[in-house]
Chains A and B, each alone.
Chain A
């Protein structure tokens, strides 16, 4: 059976899986951003917490994705089979790029600018909100972009623990030895990643100051 015919015949199912995949990514990214950006802001002035947070986030990144899903399954409350476990794993995976870029963006500011801000009598929180964050936003967004692309990829593996999404086709296709079924998952996943990259890349350029 040609891949094209499979696409046409199963378009509703493919579209549903794509929407499902996208939902996984959006929810995971929302949590990851909500955790990593504020954490990145907090660690600017706290060395011990910074080393700890960046260290832990690096460890999550190092664990192979399938193994991370495996580790989470036996854990009570957050574990088990299904979407919730998958989202937890995706969040843990997405933390490092966002956290690291938030920290680098907030601290990689021209020292003369920060000195002037302090010398003019801005408080640390005014410096954070009115100087550091606006100047760091393009770098933070670059981290979000990297994390989003990673998440779209890793989310295909989430199908292995019953989270649905485009990985369902890929795993089923491998089991059935059917290229058409594999491509029904792989092509939309690749397109999602490319689209996210272009969209966030465009936004990043818009946010650049100079």
Chain B
């Protein structure tokens, strides 16, 4: 719709500059504080942490579902507060735990939502929907006209990923997308998504509380505790970091590793 603004801001990077977010701007409701990190183009950053550690808040600060109460988040070269929130969000794919598919739309209509908002013509939209369905491993002939309630949890999440990729956004945000799936389906989707992420080369910020998922998908892991960054490392370095919260997460893998052996 406004082709001028997009190429200027094509740089698919994210920078947190001393970002603080507190509810109603009051200090004792601080969710995250003094957050400083950058995500390079094509990087898959895993935000790891327990429930309530502030990971989802960081994600929502990127697409301006939340606005920082201190510092700034720079997305594609421009602070989120200076972006038109609608334009910002259309350039950022978003996948959440329950997929959040529109129950009154078919699978094809769900995937075509952002293209329809961007006024794509029907032929281009249909071609893109079919392409995306195949990309996420669903046969368009079988699935395009189904409603979300006719899908399994794993299939819904595949559609959620396809929908987020619809207009080929340079940045993808994922909030525990595989968290509600059974372990077998989850492992299957994690493997496929890992391959897909490599192929697409998007800048991805992925929230999880599962260290195994983080180790599998990440090019870099940031560990949060109580709204602060306590570790920032590659998957290879991560388990060697000497910090109690890192050890707590590493220990969470141990019983599973033991039972497998």
Contact = CB atoms under 8 A, between A and B. Distances in A.
Interface stretch (A21-29, A91-99, A109-117, A182-190): A109-117
B120 interface: no
Contacts of B88: 121
A135 B65 contact: no
B86 A119 contact: no
B90 A121 contact: yes
Nearest to B85: A121
B90 A118 contact: no
Contacts of B63: 119
Find the residue from A112, A120, A210 having the highest chain B CB count within 10 A. A120
Contacts of B103: 110, 113, 135, 209-210
B256 interface: no
A47 interface: no
B89 A120 contact: yes
Find the residue from B90, B92, B96 having the highest chain A CB count within 10 A. B96
Interface string B42-64: 00000000000000000000010
A203 interface: no
A209 B149 CA distance: 9
Interface string A106-145: 0000101101111111110010000100110000000000
B101 A120 contact: no
Contact of A121 (B86, B100, B104): B86
Interface residues of A, number: 18
B90 A120 contact: yes
Interface string B90-104: 101010111111111
Which secondary structure dominates chain B's binding surface?
mixed
Contact of A210 (B87, B98, B99, B149): B149
Contacts of B101: 113, 116
B114 interface: yes
B94 A116 contact: yes
A117 B105 CA distance: 12
Given A122-B117, A134-B104, A209-B103, A116 B90 contact: no
Given A119-B65, A120-B113, A112 B89 contact: no
Interface in A141-170: none
A116 B96 contact: yes
A113 B149 CA distance: 13
A134 B147 CA distance: 14
A140 to B, nearest CB: 14
Contacts of B98: 110, 112
Given A120-B90, A121-B87, A110 B104 contact: no
Contacts of A120: 89-90, 94, 113-114, 117, 163
Contact of B104 (A115, A123, A135): A135
Contacts of A113: 100-103
Given A120-B90, A121-B87, A131 B65 contact: no
A101 B92 CA distance: 35
A168 B200 CA distance: 75
Nearest to A120: B114
Contacts of A131: 102
B209 to A, nearest CB: 18
Given A118-B65, A119-B63, A121-B117, A112 B100 contact: yes
A184 B64 CA distance: 65
Interface of A: 110, 112-113, 115-123, 126, 131, 134-135, 209-210
Given A116-B101, A119-B89, A209-B147, 13 more contacts: A110-B98, A112-B96, A112-B97, A113-B103, A115-B96, A116-B99, A116-B102, A119-B92, A120-B114, A121-B87, A122-B117, A123-B86, A131-B102
Interface of B: 63, 65, 85-90, 92, 94, 96-104, 113-114, 117, 147, 149, 163, 173
